[in-house]
Structure 1
C-alpha cells in the first residue's frame, strides 16, 4: 500500500492544492492493489501510480474537472483484455477509483494528514476513515478521521465512533473497504510492512521474487521493459510495474525505512542510475549485483558525483552472503539470506 503522506505534507506546506486518486475497489487482474494512491498536481504531473496506461490518463483528465469544481469523483474503470487499446491494461479486471480535491487552506485536512504522516514516521499502525457523501459532492478535512488501537483523531461523530469500535475489534485484520450501508465510508488501514523492491526483471529477479514472497516481504518488481515486467513471469509478486524509464523512481514507487532495494538491472550503467537515486532515500537495505571490481568502480564514480563515504557504506555489493553462489537459484538464496540478516538487526555485520 502506497505511503504518500510525506509528499502530501510537502505540498500542503507549500500551499499547493492537488488531487488524490485512490483505488477503493479492485476486481480480477487489475495491476495495482486497493488503497494505492496517486497524487495529481495542478500542472497535471503525477506522484505515484495507480497502474499506468490509459487508466492514469483518464483519471488525470477527470482531475481537471475536480480542480475546477472541487467535487469528488467516484468512478468504475473496466479492463476488457490486454489488447484493448482503449485501456492498455491487464486483461479481465477493473477498479473503482475515488478522485478527491485537497485544499491546502483546509485546516482540518492539514491536521489529519500531518497526524497520518507523524504516525507513519513513528511506525504506529492506524486506520484512515473518509466519509464519501452520497448527497454532498465535497470531501473536506471534517470528513476524515484517524483511529489507532488506542487513540482517535478528528471531529466527534457518533457513526464514526461506532465504526472505530468495530475496527478495533479486529484491528490487525482490516482491509481497504468502501462501506456502503447507512452511509459511505472509505476504510484504509496503514500497517507497517516490509517491502522488497526488485529493480530489474531478469532471470535472477524471478528467483528472488519467489523467495522474498515466501519470507513474508511485500514484493514489488520494477523494470522499463514490458516483455520482462509482467505477471506471467512474476506470478507470486504483489506488484509488477513496467515503467517508461528508470528515471525519477521515487515519484513512481514508494520507498521508506521499511524498504529493501535489490538492484539487478540489465547493465552497469542502469545499475548506477538506479543506485544514485536509491542512496537519496532512507531505504533500510540497498543491494547491487556485481563483482568486487564492479563495486570498486561504482563506488569511485559515486564519490566523484558528490556522494560521501557514509553514503557508500550503505551499499551491499557484491549483493548476497558469500556462499560461492553461481546459478540464479543460488544467487537468489544468498540475497534472501542477506535480507534475513538485515531484518534481524545485523545490517553491517558482513561476517
Structure 2
C-alpha cells in the first residue's frame, strides 16, 4: 500500500480534490488505529483503508455530501455485536471519523500536504495540526500547520505558536490528541517516521525477534490469528499486538508501505505461503520468510503455479537471516535482526 501522503500530493498535483477520512477515536474491535487515513476520490474509489467494508461503505456514502458542500463532518459509526459476528469479528466496535474536503485549488492546502510528503520521504518526524472549528464548517489550508522539532510551516499566529510550544514539550513521545485553545479544537497527529517491522506469527522466535527490533528502534507489530499467542502477556514491549480473524484479511489490520519490513514466521507452510502471496503485492522494503531451502522451494513452486514470477521470488529473503549457524530462538533472532540492519543501512547509503 502506498504512503497516504504521497497519494494525497499525487492527487493534488493532478488537480484532483478528494475527501480525506481520518479516525479520531476507536473502541471495541474496530480494526484500525486512531490517525488512520483513507482517501475517497470523486469517482468514490478509495486509497488506504479505515478497516473494512462496512465502515468504509458508510464513509463513502457520506463523502457525496462533502463533495457537494465542501463542509467537514465528524461522525460516529457503531457496529453491533451481531453485525461484527457476521463479518468475522469477535465483538462490535465504534469509530469516530473526521471527513474533510481537500481542495486542489487551495494553494495553502496543497503546500501543507506537499511539505508533509517531503518530510516523510526525508524521515523527519513532524506533527500535522488541523484546526477544527465547528462554526466555520469547512477546513482550509490556513487551518493546517506542520510542526517539527525545530521549525514550523503554515500561517503564523499567536494561537499556533501556543500549540507548537505544547507539542514540543514532549515531542518524541507525542500522541494523537485534541488540544483546545481559545475555545477551538486543534487535532494533533504525530507522523513519526519509525520504520515498522511486522512480525507475522507469534511463536517463541517472534518473542526474541521483537525484543531486538525494539532495541533497534523499529516500530514492532505482532500479528497472529491465535489470541492465545498474540497477546500483551507474551509481547509486553511490542508497539502493537494484533490477534486477527485470519491471515486472508490481513490488510484490514495493517498498513504496508515502502518503509515496512515483513518477517514471516507462522506455524506452517500453508500459512507462510498465504502470507507471502499477500506481501508480494506490497512495496515493502524487506520480506523475509523462515524455513529451510526445501520449504522455500515448495512455497515458491506453489506461488509460481499461481502466476507469481521469478522476479517476485527474488524479493524474498529465505532462508531468513544472515548465515551465522544459528540454532536457538535467540540466535535466530540475532541473525534476522542483523539482516534487517543490513537492508536498512544499504537503503540509506543508496
* Partner residue in 1 for 2:230: 234
Structure 1 residue 48 corresponds to structure 2 residue 54: no
CA displacement at 1:44 relative to structure 2 = 2.3
In structure 1, runs of 5+ residues without a counterpart are 223-227
Residues 1:346 and 1:137: Cα distance change in structure 2 (over 3 Å) = closer
Residues 17 and 41 of structure 1 are in contact (CA less than 8 Å); yes or no, is this contact kept in structure 2?
yes
Give the corresponding residue for 1:253: 255
Q: Deviations over 1:223-267 (max 9, x none)?
A: xxxxx63656522372535579579x699723223x211235753
Instruction: Say if 2:349 is the partner of 1:337.
Output: no
What TM-score do you get using the length of structure 1 for normalisation?
A: 0.77
Closer, same or farther: CA 348–140 of 1 in aligned 2, 3 Å: closer
Change (3 A) 1:12 1:264: farther
Match of 1:225 in 2: none
Contact 1:19–1:41 (CA<8 Å) still a contact in 2?
A: yes
| Counterparts of residues 202-241 of structure 1 (less than 5 Å) | 204-207=201-204, 209-215=206-212, 216=214, 217-220=218-221, 229=225, 233-236=229-232, 238=240, 240=242
- Output the aligned Cα RMSD: 3.7
Q: TM-score if structure 2 supplies the norm length? A: 0.77
Matched, 1:289 2:290: yes
Q: Distance in 1 between matches of 2:86 and 2:67?
A: 25
String of CA shifts for 1:303-345, please: whole Å, max 9, x gaps.
993739xx82x531012456565xxxx56x5553234213544
Find the counterpart in structure 2 of residue 36 from structure 1: 36
Q: Which residue of 2 aligns with 1:183?
A: 184
1:276 aligns with 2:277: no
Deviation digits for residues 102-121 of structure 1 (CA, Å, limit 9, x no counterpart): 12222111111110011111
SS at 2:120 equivalent: helix
Gaps of 5+ in 2: 233-237
Asked whether the 8 Å contact 2:39–2:46 carries over to 1, the reply is yes
The CA deviation at 1:92 is 6.2
Contact 1:4–1:254 (8 Å) recurs in 2: no
Q: 1:296 to 1:229 in 2, by over 3 A?
A: closer
Q: Give me the whole-angstrom Cα distance separating, in 1, the residues matched to 2:87 and 2:297.
A: 45
Question: Residue in 2 aligned with 1:62?
Answer: 62
Given that 1:129 and 1:144 are in contact with CA atoms closer than 8 Å, whether structure 2 keeps it comes out as yes
Q: Is the 8 A contact 1:82 1:90 kept in 2?
A: no
The SS at the match of 1:277 is coil
Tell me the distance in 2 between the aligned counterparts of 1:347 and 1:163: 34
Rounded Cα–Cα distance in structure 1 between residues aligned with 2:72 and 2:111: 20
Q: Deviations over 1:271-312 (max 9, x none)?
A: 66335324xx251x220234324545739959993739xx82
Q: 1:51 to 1:272 in 2, by over 3 A?
A: closer
Cα distance in 2 for residues equivalent to 1:45 and 1:320: 39
Equivalent-residue separation in structure 2 for 1:141 and 1:243 (angstroms): 41
- Aligned positions, number: 326
Per-residue CA deviations over 1:7-34 (Å, capped at 9, x if unaligned) read 2112222222221111122345542221
**Alpha-carbon distance in 2 for matches of 1:210, 1:148:** 34
> Is 1:319 the counterpart of 2:316 in the alignment?
no
Q: Is the 8 A contact 1:177 1:186 kept in 2?
A: yes
Distance between the aligned counterparts of 1:186 and 1:20, measured in 2? Answer: 14
What's the offset of the Cα at 1:178? Answer: 2.0
How do residues 116-127 of structure 1 correspond to structure 2 at under 5 angstroms? Answer: 116-127=116-127
The CA deviation string for residues 55-83 of structure 1, in whole angstroms up to 9 with x for no partner, is 22222221222222211111223444366
Aligned counterpart, 1:71: 71
Residues 75-154 of structure 1: pairs in structure 2 closer than 5 A = 75-81=75-81, 84=84, 91=91, 93-154=93-154
CA deviation string 1:181-206 (max 9, x = no partner): 5201100111122312245xxxx444
